[in-house]
Amino acid sequence: MDTTLSRLHAGQLLDGRYRVGSWIARGGMATVYLGTDTKLDRTVALKIAHPELAGDPEFARRFTGEARSAARLSSPNVVHVYDQGSGAGLLYLAMEYVPGRTLRELLRERGRLAPAEALGIFQGVLAGLSAAHRAGIVHRDVKPENVLIGDGDIVKVADFGLARAASGPSHTRTGMLIGTAAYLAPEQVTRSAADARSDVYASGVMLFEILTGVQPHTGENPLAVAHKHVRDAVPPPSSLVPGIPPAVDALVAMATSRDPELRPADAGQFLNAVADVSRRMPALPPGGGAPGYAGRPDGRPPSGEEWFPWGGTDDGTRPAYNQPSPRDGGPQHTLVVPAGDMPDRGYGQHDRPDDYPWSRQAAYRPPREPVLQRWLQDRRMVYVALAVAVVVVIAVVTWWVTDGQYTGVPQVSGMAASTARTELQNVGFVVRFGPDQHSNSVPAGDVISTNPAIGSNAHSGTAVTVTVSSGPVMIAVPQVTGEQESAAKAALRNAGLTPGSVTPETSTTVPAGIVISTTPAAGTSWPQPKPVAITVSSGQPLPNFVGEQFQAAAAQAQSAGYQLQQVAAVGSTQPQGTIIGQSPQPGTAISPNEVVSVQVSSGPPQVSIPDVQGLSVSQATQELQQAGFQVQVNQNIFSGNTVSSYSPTGQAPQGSTITLTLGFNFP
């Protein structure tokens, strides 16, 4: 069950930015959806890693790292990676959306392509792979499914680094092959080793398939196909499609040598050879026809019987395809094109001359012409074939002298030392490790640099010295507690450390502006580039004066070095002189000479006291309470039930207590 599909639906917003659209495709490690970047308002392709892989920390780490590497590629022939992240528990890549179709879909529709058209598309593939190889990235899964043909016939290579991300330790087990069996290089099968030359091999197999419409090796299962790459040579495409030029056969043989040392070192070198052959391909004849073929007057591509490898005419002006073929009703004449010399192993993997059938037969029906004219035409074809062979040999020798014998030092900086060793050994270098060096940017155990430098060219077998990081420089944190903030920062810088964030904290013992502590503490060995945090006193905390009498609070503030400013609070029911509010709030840091504003009650409002003398106790109490006063009665066993006096009289604060004295009421 596709758990990715079950967890995403159209319209879902991924990671708060990417709106998921329709399903596009599903692969072994991810599912691709059409999506919209809502932030930049552009269409993207969203590649979502399958949950069973995304849950593996090692896969997630390598997926993220390889996505960053792929995002650094800048080539019009590479599908660009815009963003990488996670949302809803899923790892995803946001990539360039390329409307069009894959090379696989084109081959399903057309079957195979003519040599000129095939080489045109193939150069776009190699241009994309070349950009990756220059950046030290190996694709590891080159196949027609990963080649996109967009609008305007632009060719783009997709899925850089994803196969590499899945080949980490947690996904590699004995007998497991990373890649697609039909395109695996022999060293991937026998040693699970892959480098730029493995991509070249896969591209050579793909060129064979483009030219012939079939894969060179087939079998009952993927493992059987994989072992055929180790055991059997890739045949020349012309053995299946007669008439393919010998130079194109040589390209396939060069790329698919079973010995990696005999292949071009990377896609860039192979691209140079392909471009050279492509420039020498015949132009489309007037009247159309399939690219790279000598067309027929009716516009249909010629059959194998009518094919001239490099074009040709019977009289210098009229194309050879105007000659009637056997199907046109004339007798058949067979022209045997002499075979060129068998190339040595520099072209490929053939051990015996009969392993590579370079001789060709091309049948056609010539006009009835003098024997001498036919003899001269036959001689001309021999010279053309010899000239082509000379051009190919010169091109290969030139490539070997200028580029072929050299190998680029791959991008291994930032890799673990053991991984870097494997990468360098896989491309033919001898690895040596120099003294470790401190690095504030490269983690301990990872590669800082190489000698010869990364990206430079060197002979295969050259010793490459690798410098590994021992981690950042460690420095003891100096004692800066009790110093002013500025002095503490200067002391940290003088020690080689970086002052970090400053956190204010109130203190009843440390004056404002003085350092209370550092994180880490003084004496700790600390990495040089990592900031040291500082805690600085913001002053003593302000007490809570609410409820206290102003005079007492003012005396307390004066002794602490700051002052209280009184603001009258009219209408308060609190007793006069009571503090009912303050600014700043309690707990706020307060520095010497600061002024704290306090609201002081002016006392409750004055209310007239009713005259209750001579009234009974119950009557007097009722009137006083209605006026807002509290009542207290002074009486003894000799007191009567009549108010003889009360206190205070006149006016008093509302809510205050009126004391009643009782006596006897004598008539």
What DSSP string runs through 358-378?
Answer: --EEEEE---S--HHHHHHHH
- Based on its alpha-carbon atoms, the radius of gyration of the chain, rounded to whole angstroms, reads 46
> Which of 218, 181, 187 lies closest to 349 in space, CA to CA?
187
More confident of the two residues 666 and 593: 593
Mean per-residue pLDDT, 146-175: 66
**Which residues span the domain enclosing 575?**
542-601
242-251, 330-339, 636-645: lowest mean pLDDT where? 330-339
Coil, helix or strand at residue 87 = strand
Residue 405 has a pLDDT of: 60
pLDDT tens-digit readout, 516-572? 999 999 999 999 889 999 999 888 888 898 988 988 888 888 888 888 888 888 778
Residue 605 has a pLDDT of: 78
> Which of 275, 384, 397, 405 lies closest to 344 in space, CA to CA?
397
Coil, helix or strand at residue 461 = coil
Ordered alpha helix ranges (H), 29-95: 51-54, 57-71
- Asked whether 565 and 596 are in contact (CB, 8 A), the reply is yes
By 3-state DSSP, what share of the chain in percent is helix, strand and coil, each rounded to 5? 35, 25, 40
Domain count across the chain: 6
Q: What percent of the chain has pLDDT over 90?
A: 36
Residue 372 has a pLDDT of: 38
- Other residues' Cβ atoms within 10 Å of the Cβ of residue 255: 28
pLDDT confidence band for 652 (50 / 70 / 90): confident
* 103-132 core/surface letters (b: 16 or more CB in 10 A; e: else): beebbeeeebbbbbbbbbbbbbbbbbbbbb
Take residue 492 and report the two structure tokens written for it.
């940290």
State whether 276 and 193 are in the same domain: yes
Residue 401 has a pLDDT of: 53
Coil, helix or strand at residue 646 = strand
Annotated catalytic residue, options 141, 159, 249, 403: 141
DSSP 8-state class, residue 626:
H
More confident of the two residues 603 and 336: 603
The one-letter amino acid at 386: L
State whether 346 and 411 are in the same domain: no
Question: Is 80 exceeded by the pLDDT of residue 494?
Answer: yes
Q: What is the pTM of this model?
A: 0.46
262 half-sphere exposure, CB direction, 13 A CA radius: 20
Mean per-residue pLDDT, 590-619: 86
Instruction: Identify the domain boundary among 66, 96, 126.
Output: 96
Question: Is 90 exceeded by the pLDDT of residue 16?
Answer: no
* CB contact set of 382 (below 8 Å; sequence gap of 6+): 337, 338
Residue 483 has a pLDDT of: 92
Mean per-residue pLDDT, 259-264: 92
Q: Report strand pairing: 498-505 vs 531-537.
A: parallel
Residue 249 has a pLDDT of: 92
Residue 635 sits in a domain whose CATH number is 3.30.10.20
> Which of 109, 181, 180, 120 lies closest to 152 in space, CA to CA?
120
Residue 325 has a pLDDT of: 32
More confident of the two residues 381 and 609: 609
Residue 665 has a pLDDT of: 61
Residue 148 has phi, psi (to 5 degrees) of -105, 135
State whether 183 and 70 are in the same domain: no
Question: Is 50 exceeded by the pLDDT of residue 417?
Answer: yes
Residue 226 sits in a domain whose CATH number is 1.10.510.10
C-alpha dist (Å) from residue 585 to 36, 258, 288, 562, 577: 50, 82, 90, 15, 19
Residue 102 has a pLDDT of: 92
State whether 641 and 519 are in the same domain: no
Question: Is 50 exceeded by the pLDDT of residue 21?
Answer: yes
State whether 356 and 393 are in the same domain: yes
Question: Is 80 exceeded by the pLDDT of residue 623?
Answer: yes
pLDDT confidence band for 386 (50 / 70 / 90): low
The one-letter amino acid at 592: P
- Other residues' Cβ atoms within 10 Å of the Cβ of residue 577: 15
Q: What percent of the chain has pLDDT over 70?
A: 76
Residue 501 has a pLDDT of: 93
- Asked whether 392 and 252 are in contact (CB, 8 A), the reply is no
State whether 71 and 104 are in the same domain: no
CA distance 66 to 617: 96
Strand-pairing partners, residue 334, are 363
pLDDT tens-digit readout, 299-321? 333 333 333 333 333 333 323 32
CA distance 189 to 290: 37
CA distance 418 to 466: 11
State whether 87 and 114 are in the same domain: no
The verdict on whether 378 is a catalytic residue reads: no
Question: Is 80 exceeded by the pLDDT of residue 111?
Answer: yes
Instruction: Identify the domain boundary among 468, 494, 514.
Output: 468
Mean pLDDT of the chain: 78
Instruction: Identify the domain boundary among 577, 601, 625.
Output: 601
Residue 377 has a pLDDT of: 54
28-32, 327-331, 485-489, 497-501: lowest mean pLDDT where? 327-331
State whether 245 and 390 are in the same domain: yes
Reduce the secondary structure of 518-580 to three states and give it as a string. Answer: EECCCCCEEECCCEEEEEEECCEECCCCCCCEHHHHHHHHHHHCCEEEEEEECCCCCCCCEEE
Residue 296 has a pLDDT of: 36
State whether 257 and 381 are in the same domain: yes
State whether 230 and 108 are in the same domain: yes
Question: Is 90 exceeded by the pLDDT of residue 121?
Answer: yes
pLDDT tens-digit readout, 29-84? 788 999 999 999 999 999 888 888 877 887 787 777 767 777 878 889 999 989 88
pLDDT confidence band for 339 (50 / 70 / 90): very low
Residue 24 sits in a domain whose CATH number is 3.30.200.20
State whether 338 and 395 are in the same domain: yes
pLDDT confidence band for 161 (50 / 70 / 90): low
How many helices (H) and strands (E) the chain has is answered by 16, 31
Mean per-residue pLDDT, 113-122: 95
* 365-383 core/surface letters (b: 16 or more CB in 10 A; e: else): beeeeeeeebeebeeebee
More confident of the two residues 336 and 220: 220
Strand-pairing partners, residue 309, are 311
State whether 90 and 124 are in the same domain: no
pLDDT confidence band for 256 (50 / 70 / 90): very high
